[in-house]
């Protein structure tokens, strides 16, 4: 049985929890669509997070990698379309680093597209009444950093492995005034997203339903 690597992030910005970490822990070791899911945790630290991710890829030899992160304030589950080659941190990471306007990979491509079927994932989640939309930017903090590091690693060393990034909203416990989704809904969403990735080697064409 082949592995799927699913990562989440530790809490950051003074938060007590990060739903992406909880989801990765919950789905760890699940069997989904004839694959075993390996759930793992990444530090919210520039540089170290990519190193750890590369180590996990070597260790588990997955044929699909999905990295999760929290996007507080968003109302939907958002598969990301594109990773860009820049770190531009609004706040310090968990090691106190705050890179500004710094390329992630010197002389690397400006951007990489996700190789996950992002539109098919959105379609599937909406079929199950889970709010979902394609996102056109993963920001310029540690999530985009890891997403770019992932796609660079896959494109340079593991062309047969697909990968991408999905941002998730807050859980209700984290906020009083921002949108949120219950943990169970998000876990179901990520399970469905994983199955969709296995089912759809190519993405579908569908219009609409995007957020910027």
Burial state string for 121-149 with b = 16 or more CB within 10 A and e = fewer than 16: bbbbbeeeebbbbbbeebbbbbbbbbbbb
What's the min distance (Å) between Cβ of 211 and ligand PCA?
14
143 catalytically annotated: yes
Residue closer to ligand PCA, measured from CB, 28 or 123: 28
67 has catalytic annotation: no
Answer yes or no whether residue 9 interacts with ligand PCA by CB under 6 A.
yes
As given in the structure block, the two tokens for residue 81 are: 């379309």
Give me the catalytic one of 67, 143, 145, 197.
143
Let me know: does 21 contact 11? Beta carbons within 8 Å. Answer: yes
Q: Which stretch binds ligand PCA (CB under 6 A): 23-31, 68-76, 101-109, 149-157?
A: 68-76
Contacts of 107 (CB under 8 A, 6+ apart): none
Catalytic-role residue among 21, 22, 26, 80: 80
- Distance, CA of 113 to CA of 165 (rounded, Å): 10
CA gap 203, 33 in Å, rounded: 17
Q: Rounded to an integer, what distance in angstroms lies between the CA atom of residue 200 and that of residue 88?
A: 33
Tell me which stretch binds ligand PCA (CB under 6 A): 12-20, 58-66, 122-130, 187-195. Answer: 12-20
Contact call for residue 164 and ligand PCA (CB under 6 A): no
Secondary structure of residue 105 in the 3-state scheme: coil
Examine the residue annotation and report whether 157 is marked as an active-site residue of this protein: no
Per CB under 6 A, does 148 bind ligand PCA? no
Active site residues: 80, 143, 167
Residues binding ligand PCA (CB under 6 A): 9, 12, 18, 20, 44, 69-71, 139, 141-143
């Amino acid at each position: 049985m082949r592995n799927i690597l699913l990562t989440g992030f530790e809490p950051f910005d003074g938060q007590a929890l990060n739903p992406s970490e909880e989801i990765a822990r919950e789905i760890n070791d699940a069997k989904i669509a004839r694959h075993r899911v390996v759930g793992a945790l990444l530090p919210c630290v520039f540089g170290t997070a990519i190193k750890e991710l590369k180590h996990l890829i070597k260790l588990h030899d997955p044929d699909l990698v999905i990295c999760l992160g929290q996007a507080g304030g968003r109302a939907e589950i958002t598969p990301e379309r594109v990773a860009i080659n820049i770190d531009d941190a609004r706040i310090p990471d968990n090691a106190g680093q705050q890179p500004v306007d710094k390329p992630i990979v010197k002389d690397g491509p400006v951007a990489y597209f996700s190789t996950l079927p992002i539109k098919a994932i959105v379609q599937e989640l909406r079929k199950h009444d889970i709010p979902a939309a394609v996102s056109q930017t993963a920001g310029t903090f540690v999530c985009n950093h890891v997403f770019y590091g992932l796609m660079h690693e896959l494109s340079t060393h593991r062309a047969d492995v697909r990968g991408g990034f999905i941002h998730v909203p807050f859980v209700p416990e984290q906020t009083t005034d921002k949108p949120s989704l219950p943990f169970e809904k998000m876990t179901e969403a990520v399970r469905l997203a994983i199955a969709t990735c296995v089912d759809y080697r190519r993405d579908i064409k569908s219009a609409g339903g995007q957020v910027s």
